[in-house]
A = this chain, B = another copy of it.
Amino acid sequence: MRILIRIAYDGTGYNGFQCQTNGVGVQDVVNDALSDLFSRRMKTMSASRTDAGVHAEGNVCVFDVETKIAPSKIAFALNARLPEDIRIVESKEVPPDFHPRFQSTIKTYEYRILNRAHPDPLSRHTEMHYYYALDEKKMNEAASYLIGEHDFLSFCASGYSSKTTIRTIYDAHVARSGDRIVFSVTGNGFLYNMVRIIAGTLIEIGALRYPPERMKDILMARDRQSAGPTAVAKGLVLMSIRYPDCPNDP
């Protein structure tokens, strides 16, 4: 049977999610834990290859196995074999033809900013620190222009090979709670570094270097040079991946 697992991880200590030839990817460690559990060499197919330093509350992998362990219990058995910076937060059976990357998905990311004079040691690995004042209302207005179907080529790092740079954003907003600003974005897919480039652009807007409407011009430009810098990896968290067409994962 095919098993879907949702994986949360602190990306700080890993060279990204994907299996690596140099350094260790989160997926290497998950594959090792699966291999240990099922006493044979196991491989997983992943939904998203997050970069080094990027975190997740719910990346998704699938694998095939014949086992007497109930699907929902596989998470517990794997967690007993994983380091504490990686946790399986859900495991369940999906149809045998389910593929985590080749069917329609709804992905949500958060980019987290601490906006005050001094960093916070308690969240130093999971948020970007920004010293100067940021206007979250202007950032939120700018984010609203991203909603809908657009060509996001301006927000795509070079070297990316994708058939199309058109994606649909279902929701994008920025909210402040005290010193903390969170940019949340939900869409049917994201280009390489797209969320981090958008976050870097929103910071330029929050710092009043661009007006919010500039976001529309940047989208139209279809040119990476028109957008802001790529924000640091550690502020990015892949929150969830949902599969609306999967009968077991609405």
Q: Footprint of B on A, CB under 8 Å? A: 8-10, 55, 57, 75-76, 79, 84-90, 116-122, 124, 126, 237
Are B84 and A118 within 8 A (Cβ)? no
Are A122 and B79 within 8 A (Cβ)? no
Q: Which residues of B contact A90 (CB under 8 A)?
A: 118
A45 to B126, CA, bound (A): 32
Q: Which residues of B contact A10 (CB under 8 A)?
A: 121-122, 124
Q: Which residues of B contact A126 (CB under 8 A)?
A: 122
A117 to B86, CA, bound (A): 14
Contacting residue for A121 out of B85, B119, B122, B124, CB 8 A: B85
Q: Which residues of B contact A75 (CB under 8 A)?
A: 117-118
A10 to B124, CA, bound (A): 9
A-B contact pairs, 14 of them (CB 8 A): A8-B122, A10-B121, A55-B122, A75-B117, A79-B119, A84-B121, A85-B124, A86-B121, A87-B118, A88-B118, A89-B118, A90-B118, A122-B126, A122-B237
Q: Which residues of B contact A55 (CB under 8 A)?
A: 121-122
Q: Which residues of B contact A76 (CB under 8 A)?
A: 118
A124 to B83, CA, bound (A): 11
Instruction: Please give the distance in Å from A158's CB to the nearest CB on chain B.
Output: 30
A84 to B237, CA, bound (A): 21
